[in-house]
A and B are shown apart, each in its own frame.
Chain A
Amino acid sequence: MIISIASGKGGTGKTTVSTNLTLALGDRVELLDCDVEEPNAHLFLKPEIEQTRRVETPVPKVDLEKCTFCKKCQEICRFNALAVVGKQVLVFSELCHSCGGCMLVCPEKAISEVGRELGVLNFGNRDGIRFINGLMRVGEAMSPPLIKQVRANANPDKITLIDAPPGTSCPVIAAMNDTDFVLLVTEPTPFGLHDLKLAVEAVKLLGIPAGLVVNRADLGTDDVYRYAEQENLPILLSIPFDRRIAEAYSRGKLIVEEMPEWREKFVGLFEQIETIVNRSKAQLCANS
């Protein structure tokens, strides 16, 4: 089972929820930190990093000896990563989305692939809990290819938890797509609700069952609860605005370590998710 933890608004508590859920469930889970632009789950889970691997994405290289400057490569590229000017072909590899289209359409077979460094993958573990994160190269603009590489290393025999990046754009879709459940973490503020709505719409498009964690639940207004009811979004856990939680966080400690009674609450959160996922799978089978 794959569960992605997303939010819309940043800073609502995705990493708090994903790291605590991870530690509460123990070695039957693995945690993938897919917030590759600023991964931080390792600061709280504190895994021992055992291996670091550099990853690349293919981009075109043009052999000007073979090129006839027909511009077919330029025409097929949606992202304008190739420009044929006079007797030159400029490759803007930072715009390339690695589709391979230019290679396919080149009648002279003048295009081959070289690598553009995306960043690194770190593999580690904490008390038998598998941990992977991606760290994007400084200067790289596109995170989805790296997020996909983090996910490609998931172990299908484990429960996979994915700490998603904030927002609702391509990186978030890359982290949520093809998961069994999206756990949305929000806070009961107008900004939290505004971005939660965007995230909920994105999850609907992907057709994935979802549920809510309301963090700092005793702040703000009750609009988020009304919205959840309207949308039939189950609230699976509420985390209060508690000084002890804030203090633990500020020291890089997990709630389940500092306040052991929370372990059970996070296990309960998982059990509710499991029930929803099983129910929706049963429904899918019944419908097909």
Chain B
Amino acid sequence: MKVAITSKGVTLDSEVDPRFGRAPYIVVVDTETLEFEAVDNSSNVNAFKGAGIQAATTVCEKGAEVLMTGYCGPKAFATLEAGGVKVVDDVTGTIREAAELMKSGKVTYSTAANKEAHW
């Protein structure tokens, strides 16, 4: 299964970045093979508005089935939902740990945003 994880760095040992829209990288990992691609999200880090929406469209385009992150706001959540991407929030640790957690199936999918919208 392909899962997108917000990351502070470009390796499997990088730490999960709790921010979704403004995380420097989004690592897309195959939970079976641990093959991964680190997508540069830096253009979004300083986005004027709607960073979460932009990051969400990126996740959808990369074909991930699940997004793992710390916080996900309402606009990003709506965008992911439209793209059929499920969300797991409050994720911490390394990218590898998050991917293994996903593989183990011991995750709870969010039913709503867990962060207020930004203005």
Q: Which residues of A contact B (CB under 8 A)?
A: 74, 78-81, 83-86, 88, 90, 92, 95, 141
| Cα of A88 to Cα of B47 in the assembled complex, Å | 23
5 A-B pairs within 8 Å (CB atoms) are namely A80-B49, A83-B56, A84-B57, A90-B53, A92-B50
Nearest residue, chain B, Cβ from A86: B83
- B50 engages A81 (CB within 8 Å): yes
- A74 engages B82 (CB within 8 Å): no
- B47 engages A80 (CB within 8 Å): yes
| Cα of A277 to Cα of B51 in the assembled complex, Å | 44
- B57 engages A95 (CB within 8 Å): no
| Residue B93 interfacial (CB < 8 Å) | no
Most buried by B among A78, A84, A85, A90: A85
- A83 engages B48 (CB within 8 Å): no
Near A by CB (< 8 A), chain B positions 66-89 give 75, 78-79, 82-84
Grouping DSSP codes into helix (H, G, I), strand (E, B) and loop, the B interface class, with mixed when no group exceeds half, is helix
Expressed in whole angstroms, the minimum distance between the Cβ of A142 and any Cβ of chain B is 9
Given the interface pairs A85-B56, A85-B60, the reply to whether A80 lies near B50 with Cβ below 8 Å is yes
Expressed in whole angstroms, the minimum distance between the Cβ of B57 and any Cβ of chain A is 5
Q: Which A residues are CB-close (under 8 A) to B54?
A: 80, 83
Partner of A85, one of B47, B50, B51, B83: B83
| Cα of A146 to Cα of B75 in the assembled complex, Å | 24
Nearest residue, chain B, Cβ from A97: B49
- B82 engages A85 (CB within 8 Å): yes
- B82 engages A80 (CB within 8 Å): no
- A83 engages B119 (CB within 8 Å): no
| Cα of A244 to Cα of B82 in the assembled complex, Å | 61
Q: Which B residues are CB-close (under 8 A) to A74?
A: 57
Q: Which A residues are CB-close (under 8 A) to B83?
A: 85-86, 88
Expressed in whole angstroms, the minimum distance between the Cβ of B82 and any Cβ of chain A is 4
Nearest residue, chain A, Cβ from B83: A85
Expressed in whole angstroms, the minimum distance between the Cβ of A145 and any Cβ of chain B is 15
Given the interface pairs A85-B82, A86-B83, A90-B79, the reply to whether A95 lies near B50 with Cβ below 8 Å is yes
Expressed in whole angstroms, the minimum distance between the Cβ of B44 and any Cβ of chain A is 9
Which 3 A-B residue pairs are closest in the complex by CB-CB distance?
A80-B50, A85-B83, A85-B82
| Cα of A222 to Cα of B49 in the assembled complex, Å | 41
Expressed in whole angstroms, the minimum distance between the Cβ of A45 and any Cβ of chain B is 31
Expressed in whole angstroms, the minimum distance between the Cβ of A288 and any Cβ of chain B is 36
Q: Which B residues are CB-close (under 8 A) to A85?
A: 56-57, 60, 79, 82-83
